């Protein structure tokens, strides 16, 4: 008779074509009884700092939420708070309340707050549409970065300076995603932002953060190629840039390009850049409904992703985009058609660890 674990692994194989035998590293780690986990290094001693994105509502109101973050995280990042939309309700005002609160929480609990984000096409307040010329764009961008990075100098040590610069389906290697900055200044806005951030805090780690570069398929290969072109060009011109952030919004229905992703990470390392995982989760709208199986599929996808990265280099940090399924951006765009709640994150909606947490622990121990 098949054990419960073998039944699940068989279902896993049937559902996603992944070859997960009970004897494989993934099969073994998913099957390790929870009790054995006590022997593992705690999150504070993982080989990379682990962290998660914070949401302000539960951070203010929910002790269980705060406890889960403190228990698991060495780094945090605001889901919002440092975006233009949150900081800049009007041209003349900067509102730092959300970010200050997040930083106070992080500092009180011995965690680092990452800064997200200075240049992004998304979450822009309407008034920025009135930026009419190159000179005005340069003035606004420089003022914003000087003010925000300057305020948190020495306290926010890692910034997603540039977020999502590559279009979904780039038409060439030099294609850059449209934004007010790209429209008014062209690609030079990227170097301008990085140089301004470096002046405002010379010690800060400056990051370009991107998604959809890890899957099998031409579109994703083109995105990798375009990001590589951009990063190489910046390094050639001595523009300050220290790391590339792989967001890692994985898709339950898309396989990881193991070789392509490893090669990309190696390429970044050979350019002298660190690689971070900044927004890991697994979009599960297309996965089977049964939670136990779905959680395994989510874990298996993240396992492949982290394995491909680790094959080239240990990431400088791994952050998930939220800690609990209770609070996730995923249903905003990827609600399930069967009405079941999404389960993209390491803890379930009752703050219980899921197989995805096992996978993170596994890599955090230094295992492959
Ligand atoms: O807070 C209100 C809530 O009161 C209201 O009921 C609800 C109705 O829609 O909206 C809530 O605000 C939403 C907020 O997310 C909740 O956290 C905003 O409308 C929505 O625009 C906001 O979306 C955020 C999105 O970025 C845009 O800023 C998501 O939280 C956040 O997870 C998402 O994060 C992005 C990263 O910055 C970049 N990479 C992709 C990632 C996921 O889309």
Look at ligand 1, atom 9, and give the residue with the nearest C-alpha: 332
Distance between Cα 250 and ligand 1 center (Å): 18
pLDDT at position 15, please? 58
Report yes or no on 40 lying in a domain: no
Query: The CATH number of the domain where 235 resides is what?
Result: 3.20.20.80
Q: How far is the CA of 329 from the centre of ligand 1 (A)?
A: 6
Q: Is residue 6 part of a domain?
A: no
**What's the 58 CA to ligand 1 centre distance in angstroms?**
14
pLDDT of residue 217: 98
Tell me, yes or no, whether 32 lies in a domain. Answer: no
* Active-site residue set: 164, 279
- Alpha carbon of residue 7 to chain centroid: 32
- 12 lies in a domain? no
From 168, 208, 329, mutation site for ligand 1 pocket: most ligand atoms within 8 A of C-beta: 329
Instruction: Say if residue 82 is exposed, middle or buried (CB neighbours under 10 Å; 0-12, 13-18, 19+).
Output: buried
As for how many domains the chain has, the answer is 1
pLDDT at residue number 204: 99
Instruction: Identify the domain containing residue 135 by its residue range.
Output: 48-364
Instruction: Return the ligand 1 atom nearest residue 117 CA.
Output: 37
Under 8 Å between Cβ of 305 and 18:
no
Residue nearest to atom 38 of ligand 1 (CA): 163
Q: Looking at the domain assignment, is residue 33 inside a domain?
A: no
pLDDT at residue 14, rounded to an integer:
61
Residues within 6 Å of ligand 1 by CB: 55, 79-80, 83, 122-123, 163, 247, 279, 329
Residue 37 domain-assigned?
no
In a domain, 79, yes or no: yes
Task: Report the distance separating Cα 275 and Cα 265, nearest Å.
Answer: 7
Asked if residue 212 belongs to a domain, the reply is yes
DSSP per-residue string spanning 43-66? GGGSSS-EEEEE-HHHHHH-HHHH
- Could you list the mean pLDDT of each consecutive 10-residue stretch along the chain, which spans 368 residues? 59 58 75 67 95 98 98 98 98 98 98 98 98 98 99 98 98 98 98 99 99 98 98 98 99 98 98 98 98 97 98 98 98 98 98 97 92
CA 55 / ligand 1 centre spacing (Å): 9
């Amino acid at each position: 008779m098949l054990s419960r674990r073998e039944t699940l692994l068989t279902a896993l194989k049937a559902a996603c074509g992944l070859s997960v035998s009970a004897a494989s590293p993934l099969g073994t780690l998913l099957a390790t009884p929870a009790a054995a986990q006590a022997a593992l290094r705690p999150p504070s001693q993982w080989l990379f700092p682990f962290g998660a994105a914070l949401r302000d509502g539960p951070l203010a109101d929910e002790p269980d939420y705060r406890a889960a973050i403190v228990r698991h995280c060495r780094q945090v990042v605001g889901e919002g708070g440092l975006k233009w939309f949150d900081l800049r309700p009007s041209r003349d005002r900067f509102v730092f309340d959300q970010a200050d609160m997040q930083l106070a929480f992080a500092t009180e609990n011995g965690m680092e707050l990452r800064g997200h984000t200075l240049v992004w096409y998304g979450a822009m307040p309407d008034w920025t549409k009135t930026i009419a010329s190159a000179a005005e764009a340069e003035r606004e961008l420089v003022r914003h970065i000087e003010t925000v990075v300057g305020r948190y100098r020495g306290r926010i040590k890692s910034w997603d300076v540039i977020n999502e610069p590559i279009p979904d389906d780039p038409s060439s290697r030099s294609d850059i995603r449209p934004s007010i900055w790209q429209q008014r200044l062209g690609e030079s806005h990227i170097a301008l932002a990085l140089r301004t951030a470096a002046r405002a805090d010379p010690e800060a780690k400056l990051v370009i953060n991107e998604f959809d570069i890890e899957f099998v398929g031409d579109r994703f290969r083109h995105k990798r190629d375009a990001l590589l072109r951009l990063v190489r060009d910046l390094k050639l011109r001595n523009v300050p840039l220290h790391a590339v952030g792989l967001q890692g919004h994985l898709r339950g229905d898309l396989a990881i390009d193991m070789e392509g992703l490893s090669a990309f990470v190696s390429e970044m390392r050979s350019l002298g850049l660190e690689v971070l995982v900044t927004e890991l989760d697994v979009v599960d709208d297309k996965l089977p409904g049964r939670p136990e199986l779905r959680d395994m599929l989510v874990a298996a996808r993240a396992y492949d992703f982290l394995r491909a990265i680790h094959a080239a280099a240990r990431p400088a940090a791994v952050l998930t985009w939220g800690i609990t399924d209770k609070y996730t951006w995923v249903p905003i765009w990827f609600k399930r058609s069967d009405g079941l709640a999404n389960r993209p994150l390491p803890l379930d909606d009752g703050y219980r660890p899921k197989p995805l947490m096992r996978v993170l622990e596994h890599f955090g121990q230094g295992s492959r």
